[in-house]
A = this chain, B = another copy of it.
Amino acid sequence: MAETLKRRYRAYLDCLNRQAWDELDRHVSTDVHHNGQPLGVDGYRDMLLADFEAIPDLRFEAERIVCDPPHVAARLLFRCTPRGEFLGLPVNGRTVSFGENAFYEFADGRISAVWSVIDKAAIEAQL
């Protein structure tokens, strides 16, 4: 069961990396919450679209996946080039590397809630 959930989580990341937005609702619940905000799958898609618009070379890579059904925790590592400001920081086309530590709750095989922290201090240290 942990392996099934891990596979599902990897399929979700693959969906993001292919920017296959018409498949997102296979991976994300209709009423998904993100950091306490009830975004819903449409708001979640809008957030990701804005992320890819701001960071054209964005790519989701999990360095570590910790799986304890119905929960997944993942450490994501990014190396990417935000065009302008990112998290309020003047990145302006520099390539930066940083981690994101994220927790996911699954319900009926889809992500129903996310609690995510991006390592902003690591980005600041690179500017």
Give residues in A with beta carbon < 8 Å to B.
Answer: 2, 64, 66-68, 71-73, 75, 87-88, 99-103, 115-121, 124
Contacts and interface: CB of A to CB of B under 8 A. Distances in A.
A2 B2 CA distance: 12
Chain A residues touching B, majority SS: strand
A115 B103 contact: no
A66 B68 contact: yes
Contacts of A119: 117
Contact of A121 (B67, B68, B73, B87): B87
Contacts of A118: 117, 121
Contact of A117 (B87, B88, B99): B99
A87 B105 CA distance: 29
A101 B72 contact: no
A2 B68 CA distance: 9
